[in-house]
Structure 1
Amino acid sequence: MFCKCGSIEKARTIFDSISDKKDLQAWTSMINGYAIHGMGNEALSLFHDMQNTEGIVPDGLTYTSILLACSHSGLVEDGLKYFKSLKKDFGLEPRIEHYTCLVDLLGRAGRLDLALETTLDLPEKIQGRMWAPFLSACKEHQNIELGELAARKLLEFIPGSTGNYVLMANLYTSQGKWKEAAETRRL
């Protein structure tokens, strides 16, 4: 609760006071707190401490928090390493939220090529959810060509979603393409 309210120091004090009885939920909550506040290195350090704690094995939610921490802190290589570790080291099948974090991580870092490759390699039922973070990354990095591809895919997978049109209009606006932005908003 303290993490959500922005008091990460208080959350850490309470976490540390739990002594040796910390369960997976406590570890994951603290890691997630660091993640949502862009404190990736702290999240990774705590994750390493957790891995050295007997009887505590990360689950899918823990990995979502780790990938989120890497994404919000620009730790691309670490994020890629942990994504691979998910299955290799712990036998966990990546879920849609893991792929979403991975595409977001790559997109925020400007690795649109790898984000696109990752998205296209996914089964169609998962792929549809990846296009929105990819489109946001295209806007952020002003790549209108890939942004248009992402918008077409979004409309194919999730037709009628007004948010998709807004994302595309914002991409056009960021490029000074006022006519295209206006046309997109009318759709």
Structure 2
Amino acid sequence: MHGTIGSGTYGKGTIDGRGSTIMTGKSIAWCQLARNALAIRKYQNNPRLIQINNSLDVTIYQITLTNSPFYHLVAHETNGFTVWGIAIIATTYVLNGEGIDPVGTQNVTITHCNIATGDDDIAIKALTAPAKHMSVLNNNIHHSVGMAIGNECTHGVSHVLISGLTINSTYNGIFIKRNALNHQ
């Protein structure tokens, strides 16, 4: 979605990114391409399952996302982003198989979700614009790195409320990353 207003994805269906399935006409899956690229210090540009850019008032409700070749759900520079009652289920083998990434997004609510990925289940970032006014309420995260704030936070993260987060078998709980500093 790009430039959408008052839109979303709703329902009890499943969107399967098939990231670990052999691609048609190839003998390799997306997730293995990424692992092979990493082994030779290259970057594999795998697709995201749902990408929302520069939009207003977007809601994602009661769907299941699974097996993305890369990030599952990204909102980039969006104002008004509600994620409510979704499930994200992914193998830990997918490289950078993050769950929900609001990037430079404001007025965000992520609530009553059940997320299990091999990377950050929720990752708040401010790479290209400030990330602010976010509520992360009553979510369950499992078998992942945890919930992250930062790393890509050049434009700042502020006004974030996290409450009722259930953490099960994660490497971290809530962790704050910082951008690498260049020391001369």
Q: Higher RCO, 1 or 2 (CA under 8 Å, sep at least 6)?
A: 2
Structure 1 length normalisation: TM-score? Answer: 0.29
Structure 2 length normalisation: TM-score? Answer: 0.30
Bigger proportion of residues as helix: 1
Bigger proportion of residues as strand: 2
